[in-house]
Chain A
């Protein structure tokens, strides 16, 4: 079946550090891939998406590339800020949308 695996957290980084959150997926077809973010006390918001292999999604300094050969969609940011502290969810979508377990990120000054 379809599933999404993410690196376990929590991840703690200092401000301006480089961020990578790993995401791999298992899919029976060719899904679209998403990263959602949940800030403390809020609902999920779309961060970025990619709809086909080799597409790169980007938003707010975050990037992720759809890698079909490695079934991955790793999230990266070159320089994190305290305001990036949140839980990040990787997801795949056909008619259904399946989320990974989430990775908690804390950025300290």
Chain B
């Protein structure tokens, strides 16, 4: 009964390094999302995938790329990390669109030095 699984839980990068955050859900959900949470700014949508095979930009997509690998998996890539990308990242999923609630992963704490 895993739900939404994110890896890693913690990561420290140096400026300019790259990394991929992994997210997988086992609830057969169609829609998946990546957010970042910063103090006083709530959750800001980075990218989302409303269905397998589609991805769209959210509110703050610059500096990120995503891949919807299959229905279960949705990864977030930082090609060249910057200190401004220090944040807590959450992956979320839901069955469809409009009415269903989001299910969240436990988050990844990322620090870019």
A→B interface (CB under 8 Å): 31-32, 34, 36, 43-44, 46, 49, 51, 89, 93-102
- Using Cβ atoms and an 8 Å threshold, which residues of chain B touch A101? 40-42
A94 touches B98 (CB 8 A): yes
B→A interface (CB under 8 Å): 31, 33, 35, 40-45, 48, 50, 56, 58-59, 90, 92, 94, 97-99, 101-102, 104-107
Question: Smallest distance from the beta carbon of B82 to chain A beta carbons, Å?
Answer: 22
Give CA–CA (A9, B92) in the complex, Å.
26
Give CA–CA (A44, B35) in the complex, Å.
12
- Chain A residue nearest in CB terms to B58: A96
B59 touches A98 (CB 8 A): yes
* Contacts A89-B43, A97-B94, A98-B59 known; 13 new A-B pairs at CB < 8 A: A32-B99, A34-B101, A43-B90, A44-B104, A46-B101, A93-B98, A95-B48, A96-B33, A96-B48, A97-B45, A97-B102, A98-B45, A100-B42
- Using Cβ atoms and an 8 Å threshold, which residues of chain B touch A43? 90, 104-107
- Using Cβ atoms and an 8 Å threshold, which residues of chain A touch B99? 32, 49, 51, 93
- Chain A residue nearest in CB terms to B105: A43
Interchain residue pairs A-B with the least CB separation, the first 7: A101-B42, A46-B101, A95-B50, A99-B43, A95-B97, A102-B42, A43-B104
- Chain A residue nearest in CB terms to B41: A101
- Using Cβ atoms and an 8 Å threshold, which residues of chain A touch B102? 36, 44, 46, 97
- Given A32-B99, A49-B99, A51-B98: A97 and B33 interface contact (C-beta under 8 Å): yes
Question: Smallest distance from the beta carbon of A92 to chain B beta carbons, Å?
Answer: 11
